[in-house]
Amino acid sequence: MSEPAPGHRIALPFLLFAVVTVVVLALPGAREVSAQAKSSETALEAQKLAWDDNAPGPKQPIPFSHAIHAGQYQIQCLYCHTGTDRSRMAGVPSVENCMGCHAQFGGDLEGVQILKKHWEEKTPIEWQQIHRLPEYVKFRHNRHIQAGVACQTCHGPVQEMNKVYLVPDRGWMNGVPVAKLEMGWCINCHNKNKASIDCLTCHH
């Protein structure tokens, strides 16, 4: 019998390893074991802080921590807020998007358990809006992102927040104090970045 070619001798162990891996992952309970892995103390503490009644900001239906997701794990804003660079609205992540990760881990967290209940019942998560502009203001997220404006410019350092809230920021315009998301605050930013301050830019 002829001896296998050298390339075949090298490839055979890798092929065998791949087959064994696929078989093991297909065994009943393999995914459940992964999903039941205990969450870190940091994640458990972040969940508590996200529902802290004494912290600023509204209590959300799920104790979601941006400090964990955007901070510790450095998940990009556009991964969850998909399409914000192409749409006027930022929107919120779909239950399906969240389950893409949390079907595999975090099962011991109350927030993930609530998420899975929404998934099973096919119901949306009713998040509380925090940053709201009057209806006559036509703010477009996509134009700001395409211009290189960081999300934190308007939303504050969300990557450090367990519970998101409207971060105060005040400035002056023509000797008059202006607060974040007020017209003068926005115009100051447009002037600083040499953007249009024509009325029809925001009111159209």
Q: What pLDDT shows up at residue 174?
A: 81
Q: Does 68 share its domain with 147? A: yes
On whether both 156 and 128 belong to a single domain, the answer is yes
Q: Contacts by 180-187 with C-beta closer than 8 Å and gap 24+?
A: 180/154, 181/131, 181/133, 181/154
Burial 144-158 (b: 16+ CB within 10 A, else e): bbeeeeebeebbbeb
Taking the chain, what is the end-to-end CA distance rounded to the nearest angstrom? 82
pLDDT at residue 22, rounded to an integer: 45
Cβ-contact 126, 136 below 8 angstroms: no
Residues 50 and 100 in one domain: yes
Q: Which of 71, 41, 95 is nearest to 163 (CA)?
A: 71
Q: What is the pLDDT along the chain (204 residues), one digit of tens a residue?
A: 555 555 444 455 445 445 544 443 444 544 444 445 689 999 999 999 999 999 999 999 999 999 999 999 999 999 999 999 999 988 899 999 999 999 998 999 999 999 999 999 999 999 999 999 999 999 999 999 999 999 999 999 999 999 999 999 988 888 888 999 999 999 999 999 999 999 999 998
Please list the alpha-helical segments (H only) found in the chain: 6-26, 30-35, 41-50, 66, 77-80, 95-102, 110-121, 141-146, 152-155, 183-192, 199-202
| Residue 69 DSSP symbol | I
Number of domains in the chain: 2
Considering the domain architecture, whether residues 116 and 90 belong to the same structural domain is answered as: yes
Per the structure, the complete domain to which residue 143 belongs is given by: 35-166
Q: Are strands 176-179 and 170-173 parallel, antiparallel or unpaired?
A: antiparallel
Does one domain contain both 40 and 112?
yes
**Residue 195 counted as domain residue:** yes
pLDDT score, position 35:
44
Q: Using the 8-state DSSP alphabet, how is residue 3 labeled?
A: P
